[in-house]
Structure 1
Amino acid sequence: MVKIAWHPSYAHPLPEGHRFPMVKYELIPEQLLHEGIITESNLFAPEPLAEDVVLLSHQKGYWDQLKDLTLPAKEQRRIGFPLNSQLVEREVRIARGTIDGALYAMQYGIAFNVAGGTHHAGSNWGEGFCLLNDQAIAANYLLNNGLARRILIIDLDVHQGNGTAEIFYNEDRVFTFSMHGDKNFPFRKEVSDLDIALEDGISDEVFLEKLSKALPMLLAHNPDFVFYLSGVDVLESDKLGKLALSKAGCKERDRMVLQFCKDNQLPVQVSMGGGYSPNIKDIVDAHCNTFKIGLDIFE
């Protein structure tokens, strides 16, 4: 059975005056349940993550400042909102959900996290609404516990996975692949194992052609597990994305990645990443398509 991490804290509202489309974290599971794509048995609620697991990926000084709520104001501004205990709890539950999802993926081929994809968090910083890097934490958990030998991270959010690249810069067992907008945040990029920078306004056809050429190259790393970040901020409707993919193009992107994993017998954990279209329905529809494609391929 395909498992999906979700917890009420995912939709925790930000402090007054800070706007962010948190509502999607409630609407995605509701939509999947309403359409009969999943049942309640597919959903699981992750517990908070243990500190020793956080410290496999993040420096202790940074983590202490998060949990003690002593992160300097300048660093909080870099994240994008004021720090509070509920936001820290939200992040540790998201990270635990991605770890649990990875373990479920080893059983069932694929698993999802309704949230996650917090790829801007580096070893000692938070940035771009990301406090802790869920897929980096989960990858290090698998490696540290001997559950995977070589890991591939496929990041197709419109923004470069700079935190992920930094965390694994000197880790040969993890191959980081980021395909992202060249002239988009973060404006200071890190170096992934493979970066494909995209021009503004790129179409479905060009995006998918570049992806189809890149995917076979990734097998040279000989991965035995995949983390996929499936941000839908690549949509033409996205107010922050600057690319021009249609919903159909975004859906085909997911099909290509997940079929690649299935064909090569690679278990895959999927985190949702970003989505900032003005119409929340566009965001939810595109994210739900990711679940539908995954279920079609793996069930």
Structure 2
Amino acid sequence: MYTLICAVQDLALLALFITGLVLLEWQIIVFPIVIYILVPFLNELIYNFFAKLLFTIEKEKKWMDNRYYQQEQQNKYTENLPIMYHYKYNITACGIEKLHPFDSVKYGRVFNILKEKGFMQEQNFYKPQGKVGRGLMLNLGMSQLYLLYLNYAAYISKCIEIPLFFLPASFLRWKVLDPMMFSTQGSIDAAVLSLKRGWSINLSGGYHHACRQSGGGFCIYPDICFAIEYLRKFVGIKKCMIVDLDAHQGNGHERDFINDKENTFILDFYNHSIYPADFQAAKGISLSKNVDCNTSDSEYISMLRMTLKKSLDEFKPEFLLYNAGTDCLDGDHLGQMNLSRNCIIERDQIVFEECLKRDIPLTMVLSGGYQQINAPVIADSILNLDEKLKIKNYSRKKVQNL
């Protein structure tokens, strides 16, 4: 609805601006420009007011209890795989999305491969019921000023690293922000599912450069932070661990949890010589390892196995969010690492194996990856998890009461 309102406003102002150009009336030309700059302030005040008014913690808890209880009664917890996917995850904008190297439709490609291989069917998975709500975002600490910035095409362009400042912000909201909001809700829902099933995968998400105050690196909404904060606020989970194995530093969630090392352990393997080189955010990391083009498969696997085991045994998290970026694959010009397909598959297996044998619920999100081979590798990795760890039949020992 908010996107539609913004679109109508943009079209009206554009029509007025064109009229001014045709009539050569500078007053008519300037007026819509001024209104275009000022109207988001009014929109945000009204939208935030009603979002706060209508949202309550009790209502959100009731919605969550009803939703998952009903699905449990219908045996969907045993019939459905704890995998979140929605076709609206995929970002398509008349080909404009191809200006960025990120494969913005890899989510659908992974889903289709898993379906073709017989791992998934058309209906045996979960879908987020909609976009993450404004009231929930505000309740989870999202900055109102940041939400205001997202009404301007110039700021959105900066975050997604594509020069689209000349397009109406409502178009970018419709084609870029809305899919990311679906994915963000998917990460939250997947985290809740993992508490019942022991594991879950959101076939999107992992916007680890976004925090509650700003975005960047093709990341707008801090789904990792939201998923963890949601479990804390609405389920009672306290100690959470983030394992970020994307090639880039996860500066978004590190900024969000920089002052909460007691309850949030961040293990980050990343190439220290590439974007974002956020030294302030790095203070939020509990344990980091530098990986680059000289790191071999065997070195990487050995380092991961040792540090993950030690971190899990010492910190003892109640929930783990796994940011499984695949931009560390050989040939990725942005990740600048040289890990093989088999290394990525073994990497994911190690994370799942170490969590499942300790009965630590985990949620995996896909994060970065800038080659066409990423989707097949992700799909093969999920298939391997079922082949080696039998995740389809996994039952959690300590089921969390929702």
Structure 2 length as normaliser, TM-score? 0.69
- Look up the equivalent residue of 1:60 and give its one-letter code: Q
In terms of fraction of residues, the more helix-rich structure is 2
Maintained 8 Å contact 1:204/1:245: yes
Letter in 2 for 1:293: N
Q: Quote the RMSD (CA, aligned, Å).
A: 1.8
Amino acid at match of 1:194: L
Q: Which of 1 and 2 has greater Rg?
A: 2
Give distance in 1, aligned partners of 2:184 and 2:319.
17
Select which of 39, 58, 78 maps to 2:142: 58
Q: Distance in 2 between matches of 1:222 and 1:163?
A: 23
Counterpart position of 1:48 = 131
How far apart are 1:62 and its partner, in Å? 0.5
Structure 1: gaps (5+ residues): none
CA shift at 1:188, angstroms? Answer: 2.5
**2 CA distance for matches of 1:123 and 1:197?**
26
TM alignment of 1:26-45, pairs within 5 A: 26-45=108-127
Query: Residues 75 and 125 of structure 1 are in contact (CA less than 8 Å); yes or no, is this contact kept in structure 2?
Result: no
Deviations 1:164-188 (A, max 9, x none): 1000111232211111111111123
3-state SS, counterpart of residue 12 of structure 1: coil
Structure 1 stretches of 4+ with a deviation exceeding 6 A read: none
Question: Equivalent residue for 1:80?
Answer: 161
Greater RCO, CA 8 A, separation 6+: 1
Quote the offset at 1:75 in angstroms. 6.2
Read off the aligned partner of 2:296 and give its amino acid letter: S
Aligned equivalent of 2:20 = none
Which residue does 1:149 correspond to in 2? 238
Deviations along 1:16-56, whole A, 9 cap, x unmatched? 36233123122110000000011123332211112233231
List gaps (5 residues or longer) in structure 2: 1-79, 394-402
Match of 2:290 in 1: 197
> Structure 1 residues 57 and 216, CA, compared in 2 at 3 Å: closer, same or farther?
farther
Once residues 194 and 57 of structure 1 are traced to their aligned partners in structure 2, the CA distance between those partners, rounded to angstroms, is 25
CA distance in 2 between partners of 1:290 and 1:59 (Å): 36
**Residue 161 of structure 1, aligned match among 250, 253, 262:** 250
Normalized against structure 1, the TM-score is what?
0.92
Structure 2 CA distance, aligned partners of 1:177 and 1:196? 8
Write the deviation string for residues 46-104 of structure 1: whole angstroms up to 9, x where unpaired: 111122332314212102332xx136x25632431345222221122111101111111
Q: Distance in 2 between matches of 1:142 and 1:269?
A: 12
2:365 to 234, 255, 271: 271
Structure 1 SS opposite 2:363? strand
Report the counterpart of residue 268 of structure 2 in structure 1. Answer: 178
> How many corresponding residue pairs?
293
Cα separation, 2, equivalents of 1:153 and 1:183: 21
Shift of 1:228: 0.4
Q: Is the 8 A contact 1:57 1:167 kept in 2?
A: no
Aligned mates of 2:386, 2:188 — CA distance in 1: 19
One-letter code aligned to 2:117: E
Inter-partner Cα distance in structure 2 for 1:212 and 1:52: 40
Q: Report if the CA contact (8 A) 1:122-1:167 is conserved.
A: yes
Out of 125-134 and 8-17, give the one that drifted further: 8-17
SS at match of 1:42: coil
Q: Is the 8 A contact 2:198 2:362 kept in 1?
A: yes
Counterparts of 2:91 and 2:156, CA distance in 1? 21
Contact 1:59–1:123, Cα closer than 8 Å, also in 2? yes
- Contact 2:329/2:341 (CA < 8 Å) preserved in 1? yes
Shift in Å at residue 12 of structure 1?
A: 2.2
Secondary structure at 2:99 match in 1: coil
1:292 maps onto 2:374 in alignment? no
Specify the code of the residue in structure 1 equivalent to 2:307. A
The answer to whether 1:90 aligns with 2:179 is yes
Distance (whole Å) between structure 2 residues aligned to residue 14 and residue 157 of structure 1: 26
Distance, in Å, in 2 between the alignment partners of 1:74 and 1:132 is 14
Aligned partner letter, 2:292: E
- Secondary structure of the residue aligned to 1:111 is strand
